Chains A and B, each alone.
Chain A
């Protein structure tokens, strides 16, 4: 193997290990840590570069080297030479395909630092993996094939790194050996990239000519590029400033993870300090309550600490007994973050199932977990051209700007100021999948200006006057299952019992309140959300509300349930098999749908998610509508 590595002082540790292990351990103990990612297109040589870094830092053991040499001859792409990429590509499937398909983490040391490398895929459809790897990185190495120059993928990777807030960008112009170490070619690529970088707001980056395969400018200066006077890659990685150092200089914030209460004499608040530092005597404020106290102790198993800084996990005790629990944020008393419930955010969609506008997702930010709904995107960004594109939703790998609302205020800061209090994930409430990553840009003023108007007559008083407990009887089932008929029977019975009711019917509502909505998945979600809000207002007025809507999605029914006090939402599943409903076909809709004349028809080309544990279930194959109504009334008793 030809090798142009100049072994600098970086790795001359073997003799130190052999001669003075204590000195070596002392050195290792005081190393700092840098996390970085490598990104590039499929053949830009990422895995080869990482393999090289591991190889040069002696992170490959002899048995691994033997396996590597054997594999290189068997499946390698470098002829008889060592294919470093094989060292890095992990999963069986990608060994066969010859591509990296997920984020892999690798480790190596130099004398000054420990490094964690996230190897990020270059494939078009894997934006989600790159965002994942980039979210914890201090620095990004963006690889360019010197023969190909700045490609669409280069732009995409740079944009994503910038979006996720990576300040240190290295433009590694790789495979310089294949362009005869031509300075003009290097300069041309750097000029191209500079122009692009400026256009997306990257004002600073470090460009270097390298060859991962041959080892040029990886460690030490290469003899093949005498015209290049900048730092070599490892030298640069060893000296660049890490994020945690920058975080320590910001105001103190610590999200509370867990309340530590072993006995009545000890009450501590455990967490990882996000920014700033804290010491006994500091005046602090707990958000969102705004209560203040003083730090009495900073506790660890190694003893109470005089101070703790960003990046450390500690337990803090207060001088006063004030309320504080998981999800709260402890901050400096005179410089607290704000709380809000409406935001503009940038969202990266990570799931095959697209965003459902208006549906409630779990939003996790720091240690806060709230319910959030996302508005229709203002626009999405074409990551290849950086153009803003109009969009109704967010599909897998889409990046969009959208407003969102949470069901209660969360303590936050803009992502650019604080990754911990500005970065969030969205979780699907049914599948539990992590469906999106997002960054809060700013809170919307209106959330501070729109207040609830307090009224003197309460919902209890409305209900008492009517001598009943308000309820929403939510009928769900396929088209033609008998929802409207049964709901009508139930309302008639309630009316005879002197109850105050109102029936909201699917077809009727679509003639008025919801006449602007169609039958796409997004519109159906919005349809149900509006009906839920109306039903809630009527329940507040003391009524027993009956609704008859297909309402096919579990998440949307759960959203309505969450709007109402416990026990007031009664889900009634009108359980009729598709064959039966289709055979009835009262409105002739199934026939149309089967003929392809009606799109998005539930049961035909749009799913129905049946309730798992409805409060009441009626079977219209075995029961007449009157029997079903009588069964429901029995289940509802007593009405007050």
Chain B
């Protein structure tokens, strides 16, 4: 931006300006917005954009982490640090029923995601009465995301109707809604995974160290490398975790998140590996494999982010 004569913005400058514009529209038109914060790299970019959008004010909304209690320890550490640094309020929500019933990723499979995340999210939004929730989903992640609007309207029961989406023209967003209804807003819809990495690199945005390669204790489950992050991990009789140099392309609940063997320890190396790799980003997550090719679309109709 220091070159005064240059008029054509780069793609990252345009994407950043678009995301900031979207965040400001929401703050101007919604009553009670919130930023969904899952501590992953997309959340990191979202938080950074929010700080840019309202600078020198702190972002005028809280961070919401719908927690499952099964995230990596390093994620909890960074979460608390970022909330402090940004001067934003951090709200953490646990689904009490999932807690009481001891729902966990080892014994309950899909029910774990459904109760802790999908139901937990709905409960959290209802509890605080948020009418607009920012999410870091991108259209390049998955087929049904590619068709979702930037302002994605939800019914009072949090349902998404892909056949009945509001047309979205130019950069005019319709945030009108009735009481009880809400919108999910995706300011980085038009970013790709590479854009996210490059933006983190250019802006020195703090991310969870697990994205970088390191020696970590792992076991193999269903062809995935799972990191043994705490002593809740049920090892098979005689099984001993193996130290491997691994890193994560995506971060979720540690027992459900597959690692890749890697030595990439800098951002350029990570980007290099990402670009040369031959498996797509969400493959490390078990969630998309449910219900055949329509897994994510079905989850979204039920209220998943």
Our verdict on whether A and B bind, yes or no, reads yes
A positions within 8 Å CB-CB of B: 14, 17-18, 21-22, 24-25, 28-33, 61-64, 67, 71, 89-93, 95, 101-107, 109, 113-114, 116, 128-129, 131-132, 135-136, 242, 244-245, 248-249, 257-258, 260-262, 266, 270-272, 277, 279, 299-302, 305-313, 315, 326, 350, 362, 364-365, 367, 419-420, 423-425, 427, 432-434, 437
What would 16 more interface pairs be, CB under 8 Å, given A25-B201, A109-B194?
Answer: A24-B275, A33-B14, A61-B279, A90-B297, A92-B294, A102-B163, A105-B147, A106-B146, A300-B1, A300-B52, A311-B14, A364-B172, A367-B25, A432-B174, A432-B178, A437-B167
Flag whether B240 is at the interface (Cβ < 8 A).
Answer: no
- The CA-CA distance from A154 to B45 in the complex, in Å, is 41
Q: How far is the CB of B241 from chain A (nearest CB, A)?
A: 26
- The CA-CA distance from A419 to B14 in the complex, in Å, is 17
Q: How far is the CB of A369 from chain B (nearest CB, A)?
A: 8
Assess whether A113 is in contact with B169, with CB atoms less than 8 Å apart.
no
Assess whether B146 is in contact with A90, with CB atoms less than 8 Å apart.
yes
Please, which residue of chain A has its CB at the minimum distance from the CB of B53?
Answer: A313
Assess whether A315 is in contact with B293, with CB atoms less than 8 Å apart.
no
Q: In the assembled complex, which residues on chain A have CB atoms less than 8 Å from the CB atom of B20?
A: 272, 313
Segment at the interface with A among B66-74, B89-97, B215-223, B265-273: B265-273
Segment at the interface with A among B3-11, B102-110, B224-232: B3-11
Flag whether B21 is at the interface (Cβ < 8 A).
Answer: yes
Cβ-neighbour of A427 out of B9, B57, B139, B176 (below 8 A) = B176
Cβ-neighbour of B176 out of A64, A109, A249, A362 (below 8 A) = A362
Assess whether B174 is in contact with A132, with CB atoms less than 8 Å apart.
no
For residues 121 through 177 of chain B, which have their beta carbon under 8 Å from a beta carbon of chain A?
Answer: 139-140, 143-144, 146-147, 162-163, 165-172, 174, 176-177
Q: In the assembled complex, which residues on chain A have CB atoms less than 8 Å from the CB atom of B298?
A: 92
9 A–B contacts, CB within 8 A, in A order: A25-B201, A32-B9, A91-B297, A101-B163, A132-B169, A262-B57, A272-B17, A312-B13, A434-B166
Q: How far is the CB of B46 from chain A (nearest CB, A)?
A: 15
Given contacts A17-B275, A313-B16, A313-B17, contact A424 B28 (CB under 8 A): no
Q: In the assembled complex, which residues on chain A have CB atoms less than 8 Å from the CB atom of B55?
A: 299-301, 315
Assess whether A90 is in contact with B143, with CB atoms less than 8 Å apart.
yes
Q: In the assembled complex, which residues on chain A have CB atoms less than 8 Å from the CB atom of B167?
A: 128-129, 131-132, 350, 425, 434, 437
Given contacts A257-B28, A300-B55, contact A25 B271 (CB under 8 A): yes
Q: How far is the CB of A525 from chain B (nearest CB, A)?
A: 21
Assess whether B52 is in contact with A301, with CB atoms less than 8 Å apart.
yes
- The CA-CA distance from A302 to B199 in the complex, in Å, is 14
- The CA-CA distance from A111 to B171 in the complex, in Å, is 27
Assess whether A28 is in contact with B171, with CB atoms less than 8 Å apart.
no
Flag whether B283 is at the interface (Cβ < 8 A).
Answer: yes
- The CA-CA distance from A577 to B115 in the complex, in Å, is 44
Flag whether B27 is at the interface (Cβ < 8 A).
Answer: yes
Q: How far is the CB of B21 from chain A (nearest CB, A)?
A: 4
Assess whether B276 is in contact with A17, with CB atoms less than 8 Å apart.
yes
Assess whether A260 is in contact with B54, with CB atoms less than 8 Å apart.
yes
Q: Kindly name the residue among B56, B139, B202, B298 whose own CB sees the greatest number of chain A CB atoms within 10 A.
A: B56
Q: In the assembled complex, which residues on chain B have CB atoms less than 8 Å from the CB atom of A103?
A: 147
Q: How far is the CB of B185 from chain A (nearest CB, A)?
A: 14
Assess whether A91 is in contact with B17, with CB atoms less than 8 Å apart.
no
Q: How far is the CB of A257 from chain B (nearest CB, A)?
A: 4
For residues 10 through 36 of chain B, which have their beta carbon under 8 Å from a beta carbon of chain A?
Answer: 10-18, 20-21, 24-25, 27-28
The 4 A-B residue pairs with the shortest CB-CB distance in the complex, in nearest-first order: A33-B11, A62-B278, A61-B280, A90-B143
B positions within 8 Å CB-CB of A: 1-2, 4, 7-18, 20-21, 24-25, 27-28, 51-58, 139-140, 143-144, 146-147, 162-163, 165-172, 174, 176-178, 189-190, 192, 194-195, 198, 201-202, 268-269, 271-272, 275-280, 283, 293-294, 297-298
- The CA-CA distance from A305 to B4 in the complex, in Å, is 10
Given contacts A301-B52, A302-B1, A434-B167, contact A105 B146 (CB under 8 A): yes
- The CA-CA distance from A105 to B144 in the complex, in Å, is 10
Cβ-neighbour of A311 out of B13, B162, B194, B276 (below 8 A) = B13
Q: In the assembled complex, which residues on chain B have CB atoms less than 8 Å from the CB atom of A113?
A: 11
Q: In the assembled complex, which residues on chain B have CB atoms less than 8 Å from the CB atom of A306?
A: 2, 4
Q: How far is the CB of A258 from chain B (nearest CB, A)?
A: 5
- The CA-CA distance from A31 to B8 in the complex, in Å, is 10
Q: In the assembled complex, which residues on chain A have CB atoms less than 8 Å from the CB atom of B14?
A: 33, 244, 311
- The CA-CA distance from A402 to B269 in the complex, in Å, is 58
Q: In the assembled complex, which residues on chain B have CB atoms less than 8 Å from the CB atom of A14?
A: 276
Please, which residue of chain B has its CB at the minimum distance from the CB of A132?
Answer: B167
- The CA-CA distance from A277 to B9 in the complex, in Å, is 12
Assess whether B168 is in contact with A132, with CB atoms less than 8 Å apart.
yes
Cβ-neighbour of A272 out of B21, B194, B283 (below 8 A) = B21
Q: In the assembled complex, which residues on chain A have CB atoms less than 8 Å from the CB atom of B268?
A: 21-22, 25
- The CA-CA distance from A262 to B194 in the complex, in Å, is 34
- The CA-CA distance from A25 to B176 in the complex, in Å, is 41
Cβ-neighbour of A244 out of B8, B54, B144, B271 (below 8 A) = B8
Assess whether B4 is in contact with A307, with CB atoms less than 8 Å apart.
yes
Assess whether A424 is in contact with B24, with CB atoms less than 8 Å apart.
no
Please, which residue of chain A has its CB at the minimum distance from the CB of B166?
Answer: A434
Assess whether B7 is in contact with A135, with CB atoms less than 8 Å apart.
no
Assess whether B7 is in contact with A270, with CB atoms less than 8 Å apart.
no
Please, which residue of chain B has its CB at the minimum distance from the CB of A266?
Answer: B56
Assess whether B170 is in contact with A90, with CB atoms less than 8 Å apart.
no
- The CA-CA distance from A101 to B14 in the complex, in Å, is 28
Q: In the assembled complex, which residues on chain A have CB atoms less than 8 Å from the CB atom of B271?
A: 21, 25
Q: How far is the CB of A19 from chain B (nearest CB, A)?
A: 10
Q: Kindly name the residue among B7, B10, B268 whose own CB sees the greatest number of chain A CB atoms within 10 A.
A: B7
Q: How far is the CB of B180 from chain A (nearest CB, A)?
A: 12
Given contacts A132-B168, A135-B170, A432-B178, contact A31 B57 (CB under 8 A): no
Assess whether A249 is in contact with B11, with CB atoms less than 8 Å apart.
no
Assess whether A32 is in contact with B201, with CB atoms less than 8 Å apart.
no
Q: How far is the CB of A443 from chain B (nearest CB, A)?
A: 20
- The CA-CA distance from A103 to B139 in the complex, in Å, is 12
- The CA-CA distance from A32 to B2 in the complex, in Å, is 17
Q: In the assembled complex, which residues on chain A have CB atoms less than 8 Å from the CB atom of B11?
A: 31-33, 113-114
Cβ-neighbour of B165 out of A61, A102, A136 (below 8 A) = A102
Q: How far is the CB of A422 from chain B (nearest CB, A)?
A: 10
Q: How far is the CB of B161 from chain A (nearest CB, A)?
A: 11
Q: How far is the CB of A637 from chain B (nearest CB, A)?
A: 31
Q: How far is the CB of B239 from chain A (nearest CB, A)?
A: 27
Q: In the assembled complex, which residues on chain B have CB atoms less than 8 Å from the CB atom of A427?
A: 174, 176
Q: In the assembled complex, which residues on chain B have CB atoms less than 8 Å from the CB atom of A249?
A: 7
Assess whether B10 is in contact with A30, with CB atoms less than 8 Å apart.
yes
- The CA-CA distance from A277 to B16 in the complex, in Å, is 18
Please, which residue of chain A has its CB at the minimum distance from the CB of B181?
Answer: A432
- The CA-CA distance from A362 to B173 in the complex, in Å, is 13
Q: How far is the CB of B14 from chain A (nearest CB, A)?
A: 5
Q: How far is the CB of B147 from chain A (nearest CB, A)?
A: 5
- The CA-CA distance from A427 to B172 in the complex, in Å, is 11
Q: In the assembled complex, which residues on chain A have CB atoms less than 8 Å from the CB atom of B18?
A: 313
